[in-house]
Structure 1
Amino acid sequence: MALAPRLEMRQGQSLVMTPQLQQAIKLLQLSNLELAEYVDQELERNPLLENGVAEADRAGEREAPAESHEQVTTAETSLTLADDGPLPDRGGDLDTDYDNVYADQSRADAQNDTAAAETPGAQGSDWQNMRTSGGGGSGDGDYDFAATLTREATLAEHLTDQMMMALKTPGDRMIGAFLIDQVNEAGYMTADLAEAAERLGVDIEDVEAVLGVLQTFEPTGICARNLKECLALQLAERNRLDPAMQAFLDNLELFARRDFDMLMKLTGADREDIASMIEDIRTCNPKPGLAFGGEPVVPVIPDVFVRARSDGGWGIELNTETLPRVLINQQYYSEVSKLSHDPTAKAYLSECLNNANWLVKSLDQRARTILKVASEIVRQQDGFLVHGVQHLKPLNLKTIAEAISMHESTVSRVTANKYIATPRGIFEMKYFFTSSIASSEGGAAHSAEAVRHRIKELIDRELSDAVLSDDNIVDILKGQGVDIARRTVAKYREALNIPSSVQRRREKKAYA
């Protein structure tokens, strides 16, 4: 058969994700902080988008409200859902065509939103009536309190200030500055001294001498190269670093294994002295560098609130404080379109308007999808909310997806980086998805998280003269209807950072 180039036309079907659909899917898996950052970028990029909170401030200062602004109504989306009530059915799956998902709100919905906005104490959907509870703004007479705040000094700055006082020569300060840069946030020296000396072109003795000076700085134990050296520096300052304590530190791995008999043999101390050494060590700080400022700790802000209702059900609502308020300035678009005769400018404005409308729809669908998934999770895990972790049910993404007619990938994106505030605390949505462990009595399966909780309870209640082995725990759990293997108990115990029965027995004897 002769080989020759030729042209062929074929017709086929394939799934093509448009840029708008990719944006919607991206928004769905973002956390509330990442979403706020993304919306801020869109506000800077698109001249037709405006910040709803800022517009609310300006609207409150004017007597006459502005005209022709379109609002994102999802900022005030909420739902109260009993455990036996119907799920919300507005919007579709993110894996479908968004052009068929969104529909314009009816005039009746708009009238209801307006009536809610005029009701005292209600959160209206009219952007002209929005108010912000934030601090001082940029208007005349406002006091910017944030501008007067100072940040906490970092560990590197704290060590550098001490170094400038302790080291006098430029060469020593150069070595000291290099070593300070190699100290991690916990306060440990991560640099290899030989490599540091070679890189700086100095003798290793000079580097060791400077490191010795750095290890005298506050907080005590800073710039240590390992845990043993960190503890030794702190104990030496208290005059507790005697030969017996040094031998104890040289064999810290025995302490980790709770092998106190071997520790007594190596240190020459009796059981009472070993207990005293352990108390001294426990008063030390294994990570002295964490006392200083570093990266700010970001608090967990829940995306959904779950509250008990008087009728025995659960009320589920979105945290509206985490939802961005975005406005589309239709008036600005109309005026500029009328005045501009440049086809390129008009095309640019049309593209901006389309992007703005799609962003509004994507934010709306994101809020409704989160609420839909959270409602089904609450319905599935009602026992956990009422009775605690012992009644946490096995749950997977497929169960939730089938219940709300969505794809598993959509549920996975929704539950990523999202948190639920319940009467029992704040939990990540993925916490409620646990594997199942079969029942030994043929009944309902048990949640792996619930089984881990039972193992921890059993070990916490064990007596010093009756320490439970993994086999004993297996027998107890099987008596409670949990069909579990010994290796699974050992895996869960290690995940909970609980020592083995041998180590726990040694520790209990040491403190007996």
Structure 2
Amino acid sequence: MSLTPRLDLQLKQRLALTPQLRTRLAVLRMSPLELAEEVAREAARNPFLLHSPPAAPAPSDGMVAEQIAPALGFHEDLRLQLSRQDLPPKTAAAADFLIGELRDDGFLDVTLAELSTELALPLALLEDGLRALQACEPAGIGARTLPECLHLQLRAKGLGEEDATQTLAHLDGFGRRDWPALRKALSLPLPALKARATLLQSLTPRPVPETMAAPAQHLRADLRLERNSDGTLSILPERRAHPALHLDRAMVARASDDGFAPELLERARALIAALEQRGQTLSRIGDWLALNQARFFAEGPKGLTPCTRGDLAADLQLHPSTISRAVSGKAIDVDGRLWPLSVFFSSAIKGADGPVAAGAVKKRLAELIAGEPAGQPLSDESLVEKLNAEGVDIARRTVAKYRQGLRIPSSAVRRRLAKARRGADTGE
């Protein structure tokens, strides 16, 4: 047997999520507080970085309800669960990345196809990572839609794939308790149908319940509104909220001469570049808000213009998932009051004078309920009539959805609460 050299070409699939890209994506998603903590940690262990912490917040920061945001408290538990699954390294890396893309309620609001295109990752690899993530607790984690969330929960409760799909296809029938129609559609006896209805009642619309959220943390402004003397608006980065970071030139020179710690120098440069890109992205979003939400800054929430994150992404020619990361956990200082960037994005509802932002409708709904006569709460139907009279074309189920989102109980519950309060006041 003779040994001869040979040149072979092999096509190998590898995870293209480089450390630099991971850093950029992670930094963009971080809130100012998370960013300050991460930068301080990296500066403490990286001799190439010179670090100045952000200025202390103004005394008024964090004093209004809009400034409270849940800290990310379930991510590490998910990572621990993934570590116990004995996954292939590439699948584990993809699942770990997807954890960072989850919303605070556990939903994944970006499609795998979008991530595949943006990050140059194989779609099949992301699908494997998502399956691994969705196998974790709580059931429904990583769902992209409410039906998928409910489907995952039904599977976790013991239903097979087909049974879960068929059950969700007949939600209306279960809601009406239409047993004859359900028996015909699902070929199940009445006791089994009632058991299935009880199972449906145990489901939750959000994968991560609020009781699992970490303690609340106060937002700090990434952006600040300035009202110019000529009446125009400017939205500028809030420099005080951001740590200052730059390279130690003496250490860089030493590294060049002695070949000292090149991997640390690369990490330092990647972090500085990520900070600069984060700032540029937020500045562009600020410019867009000043142009497109001027009525909000003049009139408050009632002046909110309907727009979505997709509109912003299209106008700035950025990927939708980039916008999602940039908006998450960020706030703007408007005349001393902080507003989460998320409030500026909502769907449109038909109004007499054109589209009305869903956020503005929710605020008006809360005002109507707050002003209802004591002991005579407005039903959802009455609220619909009042909003219709004000030119808002809205359905009763939408009013109920918005009311529930505002954590306002139904009129029947409000009536019982008012009666209980009257009884307590009169000693009855």
TM-score by length of 1: 0.45
| Counterpart AA for 1:321 | R
Deviation of the 1:476 alpha carbon? 2.1
SS of residue matched to 1:468:
coil
Partner of 1:48: 48
SS in 2 for 1:487: helix
Counterpart residue number, 1:178: none
Aligned to 1:333: 252
Which residue in 2 is equivalent to 1:478?
Answer: 388
Change (3 A) 1:24 1:479: same
Cα shift at 1:494 = 3.2
For the residues of structure 1 that align with 2:28 and 2:222, how far apart are their CA atoms?
Answer: 12
Q: 1:318 is matched with which residue?
A: 237
* 1:141-186 alpha-carbon deviations (Å, 9 max, x no partner): xxxxxxxxxxxxxxxxxxxxxxxxxxxxxxxxxxxxxxxxxxxxxx
Mapped to 2, the partners of 1:336 and 1:353 lie a distance apart of 8
Q: Point out where structure 2 has 5 or more consecutive residues left out of the alignment.
A: 1-6, 55-116, 121-213
- For structure 1, the 5+ residue unaligned runs are 1-6, 55-93, 98-294, 341-345
Would the alpha carbon gap of residues 432 and 14 (structure 1) be closer, same or farther in structure 2, given more than 3 Å must change? farther
Count residues with an aligned counterpart: 261
2:36 paired residue number: 36
Aligned mate of 1:370, from 251, 257, 282 = 282
Query: What is the alpha-carbon distance in structure 1 between the residues aligned to residue 53 and residue 309 of structure 2?
Result: 36
Q: CA deviation at 1:499?
A: 4.2
Q: Give 1:86's aligned residue.
A: none
Whether the 8 Å contact between 2:221 and 2:330 is mirrored in structure 1 is yes
Change (3 A) 1:26 1:494: closer
Tell me the residue number matched to 2:262: 350
Matched with 1:395 is 307
Q: Report the Cα distance in structure 1 between the residues aligned to 2:278 and 2:394, rounded to whole angstroms.
A: 40
Q: Structure 1 residues 351 and 463, CA, compared in 2 at 3 Å: closer, same or farther? A: closer
Per the alignment, in what secondary structure is the counterpart of residue 220 of structure 2? coil
Aligned counterparts of 2:53 and 2:337: Cα–Cα separation in 1: 29
In structure 2, give the amino acid aligned to 1:412.
S
Amino acid at match of 2:50: E
Give the superposition deviation at 1:328.
1.4
| Cα deviations by residue, 1:431-475 (Å, 9 ceiling, x for unpaired) | 211222223x4x522222211222222233334597533222212
Residue in 1 aligned with 2:169?
Answer: none
Instruction: Name the counterpart of 1:457.
Output: 367
Distance 1:394 1:321, change over 3 A: same
CA contact (8 A) 1:333 1:349 kept: no
For 2:47, the aligned partner's letter is P
Counterpart residue number, 1:233: none
**Cα separation, 1, equivalents of 2:390 and 2:224:** 34
Within the alignment, does 1:415 sit opposite 2:334 as a pair?
Answer: no
Aligned mates of 1:46, 1:465 — CA distance in 2: 63
Is the Cα–Cα contact under 8 Å of residues 223 and 331 in structure 2 kept in the other structure? yes
State the alpha-carbon separation in 2 of the partners of residues 333 and 464 from structure 1.
70
Q: 1:332 Cα shift?
A: 3.1
Q: For residue 297 of structure 1, report the CA deviation from its aligned partner.
A: 7.0
Identity %: 34
Tell me which moved more, 490-499 or 459-468.
Answer: 459-468
Name the CA distance, whole Å, in 2 between partners of 1:49 and 1:12. 36
The reply to whether residue 490 of structure 1 matches residue 367 of structure 2 is no
Q: Could you tell me which amino acid in structure 1 is paired with residue 238 of structure 2?
A: N
Once the two structures are TM-superposed, the CA of residue 406 in structure 1 deviates from its matched residue by: 0.7
Query: Structure 2 vs 1, CA of residues 9 and 306 (structure 1 numbering), >3 Å: closer, same or farther?
Result: same
Q: How does 1:49-448 map to 2 (within 5 A)?
A: 49-52=49-52, 298-335=217-254, 337-338=256-257, 340=258, 346=259, 348-423=260-335, 425-439=337-351, 441=352, 443-448=353-358
Shift of 1:393: 2.0
Q: Deviations over 1:49-74 (max 9, x none)?
A: 222469xxxxxxxxxxxxxxxxxxxx
The structural deviation recorded for 1:422 is 0.9
RMSD (Å) for aligned C-alpha atoms? 3.4
Equivalent AA in structure 1 for residue 230 of structure 2: D
Q: What CA distance in whole angstroms lies between the structure 1 residues aligned with 2:215 and 2:371?
A: 38
SS of the residue 1:43 aligns to: helix
Q: Cα distance, 1:12 vs. partner?
A: 9.8
- SS of alignment partner, residue 305 of structure 1: strand
Distance 2:28 2:375 in 1: 54
Q: Secondary structure at the match of 1:51?
A: strand
* Counterpart AA for 1:44: A
- In the alignment, what sits opposite 2:24? 24
Distance in structure 1 (CA, Å) of the matches to 2:215 and 2:377: 42
> How far has the Cα of 1:369 moved from its partner?
0.8
The DSSP-based 3-state class of the residue aligned with 1:372 is helix
**CA shift at 1:412, angstroms?**
0.5
Q: Which residue in 2 is equivalent to 1:154?
A: none
Distance verdict in 2 for CA 1:13–1:398, change over 3 Å? farther
* Match in the other structure for 1:202: none
CA contact 2:219–2:330 (8 Å) conserved in 1: no
Given that 1:385 and 1:424 are in contact with CA atoms closer than 8 Å, whether structure 2 keeps it comes out as no
2:293 touches 2:344 (CA, 8 Å); kept in 1?
yes
**Deviations, residues 395-453 of structure 1 (Å, cap 9, x unaligned):** 211100111111111110001111111137211111211222223x4x52222221122
Using a 3 Å threshold, how does the CA distance of structure 1 residues 323 and 408 change in structure 2: closer, same or farther?
same
Secondary structure of the corresponding residue to residue 393 of structure 1: coil
CA separation in 2, counterparts of 1:362 and 1:426? Answer: 25
Letter in 1 for 2:344: F
Tell me the secondary structure at the aligned position of residue 427 of structure 1: strand
Letter in 2 for 1:366: R
